[in-house]
A and B are shown apart, each in its own frame.
Chain A
Amino acid sequence: MDITIKGLEHSYGKGTPFERKALSNINLSISSGTFQTIIGHTGSGKSTLIQHLNGLLKPTQGSIQIGDFKIQAGVKEKRLKALRKHVGIVFQYPEHQLFEETIEKDILFGPLNFGVSEDEAKRRAAKLIQQVGLDESYLSRSPFDLSGGQMRRVAIAGVLAMKPSILILDEPTAGLDPRGRREIMDLFYRLHEEEGLTTILVTHSMEDAARFSDDILIMEKGGVVLQGNPETIFSNPEALKNLSLDVPETVQFIHRLEERFNKDLPHSVFTLKAAVDAALSVLQKGDDS
């Protein structure tokens, strides 16, 4: 499902003394199957933007088209539940949404709400609990006895069990240990590739943004300030610095290499392996001369 956002504006607390504009004039289109990343400082409106994509927030102005669903300022969309079946959101700190007696029941909550049969939902739960890095014995345990990181994994499984075709991830790895982060991000990316999901990732990690994205959107003060593929975005460290953002460590490394050896190198180096290769190539050439 393609997503088209036109002239989107959102104010919190409309008509109260606390009214505050969180988004202004956002125009954006995300075609089906894209890995879209959203970067921006805290308070720049990322969470506000993504909550519009399944009708949790209503635009104060403008419209959002998702497949054949349309959400418009001032118009009541009646098929929100149908829309939400297609758009899954993993919220910032999703562990707060756990409520059932057992982990299995909690994972089933979403699918059963959307009319999936119990057998099918249970099959999904059994598969997902392993995919998020826990084993099947956890299914019968209480979600409240888990560590923070394990709760996060269960909550993520609960969203994935809905099999959404658009998956929205709001800083899904914040607060996890480095290995947990890598595992979870790899899982999301694998699902993105295998199931052809449209993935929208909100993150503060430039490394994740660089590695996975087809397109990166940079937000500041409720608006879009930069947009492009990772190569273009990270080839201009100055522009990012002006927004007080960094380039990924691998790209920083390449820039240092360039300075040190006075050579031009390709800038689209986003994995550790690629960085090592680039360094090797420089060093080997250095030997030759």
Chain B
Amino acid sequence: MQNIIIGQYVPGQSFIHKLDPRAKLLTAFLFVIIVFLANNWITYVLLGAFTLLAIFVSKLPLRYIYNGLKPILLVIILTFLLHVFLTKEGPLLLDLGFLEVYEGGVEQGIFISLRLLFLILITSLLTLTTTPIDITVGIETLLGPMKKIGLPVHEFALMMSIALRFIPTLLEETEKIMKAQSARGAQFSSGPIKERLKSIVPLLVPLFVSAFKRAEDLAMAMEARGYRGGEGRTSIRLLKWSGKDTTLFIILLLLCVSLLLLRS
């Protein structure tokens, strides 16, 4: 439970922490696109270098990020194996009779896994170094123009921020309920699978009950404090674009151009 890093914010003073949330959001968004430009070793190395540099500059503890990745690692490994076994391109590397491994498959497997890994790292970095409020304000300003065509941008941003805000709370709650039910003999992490499955109901029911109750309380509290939607609402946080943010975009541009030049 304690290793989950989704939606978690780690306070800090690094270059990345101090970037404008709009810059970070745009970077993450653009990164998701340019990841798909990479298609050979040199371009993947470039992307890797960019990701590692970002992690390094953020000054987040490496072990923390590694622990947070563990649950996702399984998905990555699975992707890798699927590609290795299913792609039949290039010279044959290994023949086990029932199973043939081609060089193209291994290469594809590595590329796709790396792609996944980079995407997860960069997007995690966004939430790890940006407070939920900043993310919301960032999204709201970026999507601002869409208001003109009638999209509920403010509501969308608010929903996002509430969701982000409540992920850690729900995890805490889950842990609490698991403890209470374990003390009454439920088995979550040991014992036969059948027992563990049976424990899901005693966990989910209280979790839903409390999530609904929290939602109700929050709605009530917002109304009591005069919340009435986005109309005419100004933000207490003023975003400021600085030299740092421009630097980030120059780096991103360089990365993009190099990828275009070096891809095969």
Residues of A within 8 A of B (CB): 12-18, 51, 54, 56, 80-81, 84-85, 87-89, 91, 94, 96-99, 109-110, 113-114, 144, 158-159, 162
Contacts and interface: CB of A to CB of B under 8 A. Distances in A.
Contacts of B63: 15
A96 B206 contact: yes
B88 interface: no
Of all A-B residue pairs in the complex, the 4 with the closest CB atoms, nearest first, are: A113-B185, A99-B205, A110-B184, A97-B180
Given A97-B206, A99-B205, A85 B181 contact: no
A15 B64 contact: yes
Contact of A96 (B3, B67, B210): B210
Given A16-B3, A96-B210, A85 B185 contact: yes
A94 B182 CA distance: 13
Given A81-B191, A87-B183, 6 more contacts: A56-B182, A84-B183, A97-B177, A97-B184, A97-B202, A159-B184
Contact of A17 (B64, B184, B205): B64
Nearest to B2: A13
27 contacts: A13-B2, A15-B67, A16-B61, A17-B61, A54-B183, A81-B187, A84-B182, A84-B185, A91-B180, A91-B183, A94-B180, A96-B173, A96-B176, A96-B180, A96-B210, A97-B177, A97-B184, A97-B202, A97-B206, A99-B201, A99-B205, A109-B184, A110-B184, A114-B185, A159-B183, A159-B184, A162-B184
Nearest to A88: B183
A56 B184 contact: no
B179 A51 contact: yes
A14 to B, nearest CB: 8
Interface of B: 2-3, 10, 60-61, 63-64, 67, 173, 176-177, 179-187, 190-191, 201-202, 205-206, 209-210
Contacts of A51: 179
A16 B67 contact: yes
B209 A144 contact: yes
A89 B205 contact: no
Contacts of B61: 16-17
Given A13-B2, A97-B177, A98-B206, A89 B183 contact: yes
A148 to B, nearest CB: 11
Contacts of B3: 16
Given A13-B2, A16-B3, A80-B190, A97 B181 contact: yes
B197 to A, nearest CB: 14
A279 B202 CA distance: 53
Contacts of A12: 2
A81 B185 contact: yes
Contacts of A98: 206
Contacts of A81: 185, 187, 191
Contacts of B10: 17-18
A14 B67 CA distance: 11
A82 B75 CA distance: 35
B2 A113 contact: no
Contacts of A85: 185
Output the residue of B176, B185, B205, B210 with the most chain A CB within 10 A: B185
B202 A109 contact: yes
Contacts of B64: 15-17
Contacts of A89: 180, 183
Output the residue of B183, B209, B210 with the most chain A CB within 10 A: B183
A15 to B, nearest CB: 6
A88 B3 CA distance: 28
Output the residue of B2, B3, B177, B201 with the most chain A CB within 10 A: B2
Contacts of A91: 176, 179-180, 183
